[in-house]
Chains A and B, each alone.
Chain A
């Protein structure tokens, strides 16, 4: 069965510094997608970044980058130049093929990030 593991329940980072949020996954499917979402206290799940299993380069989106190490089955999120508004819960997720044409997304337990002024 596919599985996502986030081992850091909570993280602190100083404003303007970089922070890495860890995510490891387990799957036997050669084709999969990995996602990171941000959930502020308001509740909305905000898509941040995507990495496909066949992508040769690490994904980047502005201040977000994904450190994809396929052999180690890790997909860590790096946030550069942290801002106070980055304080939120962060979820790593993986797309799982349920049947032909239908997908499920499984989520890790999340990491709560607090940015300090």
Chain B
């Protein structure tokens, strides 16, 4: 099973709203990722969690707040977003078990976010 589950699939929010995106995997992967993808562009890395600790923050604005409650769950809390934050948000996970391992990154189906 290589499934990464993201909820919700679609989200519309106002600029003053607070919402959360959720990601779950049960593959025993130790690394989890958030990406932002605009139309016709490659995914842009936002955050990486490794063993439930934040390893990488790609200078993401503080209106995006990640959280990793346990090794299977990853949340992205959204507050006071701007219309330009409208995008597809993808979650991914990988094993992170050594440099010579495949460490294949598996993705969820994404959340399409619209900020009005």
Contact = CB atoms under 8 A, between A and B. Distances in A.
Interface in A67-117: 89, 91, 93, 95, 97-99, 101-105, 107-110
A50 B109 contact: no
A45 B56 contact: no
Given A33-B103, A91-B42, A44 B55 contact: no
Contacts of B45: 104-105
Interface residues of B, number: 31
Given A47-B2, A107-B43, A35 B105 contact: yes
Chain A interface main SS type:
strand
A47 B99 contact: no
Interface of B: 2, 31, 33, 37, 40-43, 45, 48, 50-51, 55-56, 88, 90, 92, 94, 96, 99-100, 102-110, 112
17 contacts: A31-B99, A35-B104, A43-B109, A44-B108, A44-B109, A45-B90, A54-B100, A89-B40, A93-B105, A95-B103, A98-B55, A102-B31, A102-B96, A104-B56, A105-B33, A109-B42, A110-B40
